[in-house]
Structure 1
Amino acid sequence: MPAPMLAKAVDAVPDPGKVEGGLSYEPKWDGFRGIVSFDGDTVEIGSRGAKPLTRYFPELTEALARLLPRRCVLDGEVVVPRGEPGAQRLDWEALSQRIHPAESRIRKLAEETPALFVAFDLLSLDGEDLLDWPFERRRDALEEFAGPLASPLHVTRTTRDVELARTWLERFEGAGLDGVVAKPLAAPYAPGKRTLFKIKHHRSADVVVLGYRVHKSGAGVGSLLVGLYGENGELYGVGGISAFSDVKRLELVDELAPLVERDESGEAVRGEGERNRFSSAKDVSFVKLRPERVVEVRYDQMEGHRFRHTVQFARWRPDRDPASCTYEQLELPHSYDLGAVLD
């Protein structure tokens, strides 16, 4: 399987006139990138990092093996929808739970939260390598080959209308999508190269620092844990800030020392962080801080009551009262039906 072609982040949906040959725009699906390979008998799914995903999605591999009429290699995204028709959205948490070591658990989740495969490129057909074809030609071939096929295989919608793409950036977030991707129409498929453009949402929020985890090296702050106040006045953890330099990690220990909660013996009080299947063997404890310091962060979107991804440090906000850091400040997308995006 070829390595997936990648995208570089840009601040806004690019104008098609700035790229030779123009651009095609499509929704950015928030799932697992997957390369589907069908040899005429069985289906294999490879991840962005070349790790096999096949065993985790038996409902997909079995359905695609029945649906696909010819040998092919498809590039796309594995996603899981939730909600009733007319009010569906992508469910990242349900998708991430599918990566599980137990076969019985995988089969159970395959029935309870079945996945879809959204195809957006055709890399090979009947053994013919299409990587050197321009995207415009590959897209036409994809529509002809996979367009008539049924769910759980879907072909992502596209447009060459930049204004419509900008509308999608705002509208489709309500269905759980991640942004918009712009693809040069004249470009061949470039495995592992960032020749596409991705546009995601960029927002900021003021949050309260709850504590910090020690860096894995044992020296300095590895990540700051942050929270927001709910309507009941309780402070909820919403995510973390990481990616500090070696120097900054050490500086933060001294900077935050006056806020460290201590027990009667003077020892720092430690809290226990949330665990999931990725952190079950890790130390998720953290040093508790008095919730007196506010930091402004940059984030892209929410997943439930937490930030979907690790947030970025913007600046300290000594002018902000921690009690004012509530969920009300967050910009929440209007609900939008996933089915309307898939159709």
Structure 2
Amino acid sequence: MRLPVMPPVAPMLSKSVPEIPPGASYEPKWDGFRTICFRDGDEVEFGSRKERPMTRYFPELVAAALAELPSRCVVDGEIVIATDDGLDFEALQLRLHPAASRVRMLAEQTPAAFIAFDLLALGDDDYMPRPFAQRRAALVDALTHCGPSIHVTPATTDPALAQRWFSEFEGAGLDGIIAKPLDGPYLPDKRVMFKIKHARTADCVVAGYRLHKSSDEAIGSLLLGLYDDVGALASVGVIGAFPMATRRQLFAELQPLVTTFDTHPWNWGVPAGGSRWNAGKDLSFVPLRPERVVEVRYDHMEGARFRHTAQFNRWRPDRDPRSCTYAQLDQPVTFRLRDIVPGLG
């Protein structure tokens, strides 16, 4: 492979801001695997955010790159799996499997798509020093005839339209807006873009804890629950960003609530095989009587769970644990992916 921009390349990053800034280019924030695609003739490589090859996990996208991309190019984008119900990040995670036979099977059953949003090189030209406005125009022109597996993300310079996208597109599984300075070059591993994500709170039951890796008398994370429509306590996620002093204090405070799995709604204390994503990870936890309530911050849900790790907000001693139900959560308006990118989903 001989390209003006060679792998590995650390992708340009974003930093969180509370509001959509003026004077930028705005795009939907796709919820998938950030990837830079390198194509040089018959050679194709997909590199991850951590600069590790992703190529073997997505053979259908290698074929798509050969069929749909210019013969020599470097394109920044996101690998996603689109369904009729929106983006499916869980199905995407299942693709990172060591067995080639399973990778091939999943590539047929749940084919991925590549959403392109920046151009780093085309032919013999390095586009990274050029302003984003030029890179975007060249990307749209170079990928005019791409599809059905490779798509160019929509973009606008209208803040009002970006705000509407922010409100509507969440219903298709997207998790916010990315704002890019129009005159900025491509800066690998630098947080020069801006991301605006949904911010919400929920009151959750603390139903257990895991110990901190460095101490048997400090909390590593708290397991959160919400009651569903039939009154069962469902596991929805964890919080774990505490100072060490707070971790030790919480350990002492929670000891009177420690119970057994015989009387706990969750009996998966030591699941067979450990984590689906990390076979060596211990998922066992200490069960607690579901009596303590915490308010947490979260961005959005994936199915019945928080998509990302929630953040501690405050304790709610005034709340009845039984009042911590799914009914309190915002329900995004349903939105179809094909209305965002024609041919997707």
**TM-score where L is the length of structure 1:** 0.93
Q: Is the 8 A contact 1:270 1:288 kept in 2?
A: no
**Distance (whole Å) between structure 1 residues aligned to residue 275 and residue 334 of structure 2:** 28
1:102 to 85, 99, 102: 99
SS of aligned partner of 1:163: helix
| Match of residue 15 from structure 1 | 22
- Measured at CA, do residues 222 and 128 of structure 1 come closer, stay the same or move farther in structure 2, by a change above 3 Å? same
Q: Post-superposition, which runs of at least 4 consecutive aligned residues in structure 1 deviate over 6 A?
A: none
2:129 to 127, 132, 150: 132
- Measured at CA, do residues 341 and 185 of structure 1 come closer, stay the same or move farther in structure 2, by a change above 3 Å? same
Q: Is the 8 A contact 2:11 2:36 kept in 1?
A: yes
| Gap runs ≥5 in structure 1 | 17-22
Structure 1 residue 283: Cα displacement: 1.3
Amino acid of the residue matched to residue 31 of structure 2? Answer: D
Identity %: 56
| Gap runs ≥5 in structure 2 | 1-6
- Measured at CA, do residues 32 and 262 of structure 1 come closer, stay the same or move farther in structure 2, by a change above 3 Å? closer
**Distance (whole Å) between structure 1 residues aligned to residue 75 and residue 268 of structure 2:** 48
Amino acid of the residue matched to residue 321 of structure 2? Answer: P
**Distance (whole Å) between structure 2 residues aligned to residue 137 and residue 325 of structure 1:** 50
**TM-score where L is the length of structure 2:** 0.92
| Match of residue 156 from structure 1 | 153
Q: Is the 8 A contact 1:26 1:157 kept in 2?
A: yes
Q: For each residue in 1:105-136, what CA deviation from the matched residue of structure 2 results, as whole angstroms up to 9, or x when unmatched?
A: 00000000000000000000113111100000
Amino acid of the residue matched to residue 231 of structure 1? Answer: D
Q: Is the 8 A contact 1:40 1:71 kept in 2?
A: yes
**Distance (whole Å) between structure 2 residues aligned to residue 68 and residue 240 of structure 1:** 41
Amino acid of the residue matched to residue 317 of structure 2? Answer: P
**Distance (whole Å) between structure 2 residues aligned to residue 35 and residue 165 of structure 1:** 25
Structure 1 residue 255: Cα displacement: 1.2
**Distance (whole Å) between structure 2 residues aligned to residue 69 and residue 38 of structure 1:** 8
Find out whether 1:225 has 2:223 as its counterpart: yes
**Distance (whole Å) between structure 1 residues aligned to residue 278 and residue 186 of structure 2:** 36
- Measured at CA, do residues 26 and 118 of structure 1 come closer, stay the same or move farther in structure 2, by a change above 3 Å? same
| Match of residue 210 from structure 2 | 213
Q: How does 1:12-161 map to 2 (within 5 A)?
A: 12-16=19-23, 23-83=24-84, 88-161=85-158
| Match of residue 309 from structure 1 | 308
**Distance (whole Å) between structure 1 residues aligned to residue 271 and residue 316 of structure 2:** 25
Of the structure 1 ranges 155-164 and 61-70, higher mean CA displacement relative to structure 2 is found in: 61-70
| Match of residue 283 from structure 1 | 282
Structure 1 residue 263: Cα displacement: 8.8
Structure 1 residue 216: Cα displacement: 1.3
Q: Is the 8 A contact 1:35 1:76 kept in 2?
A: yes
- Measured at CA, do residues 263 and 334 of structure 1 come closer, stay the same or move farther in structure 2, by a change above 3 Å? closer
Find out whether 1:180 has 2:177 as its counterpart: yes
**Distance (whole Å) between structure 2 residues aligned to residue 255 and residue 289 of structure 1:** 12
Structure 1 residue 170: Cα displacement: 1.0
Q: For each residue in 1:241-280, what CA deviation from the matched residue of structure 2 results, as whole angstroms up to 9, or x when unmatched?
A: 012111111111011111111599xxxx993369542232
- Measured at CA, do residues 258 and 194 of structure 1 come closer, stay the same or move farther in structure 2, by a change above 3 Å? same
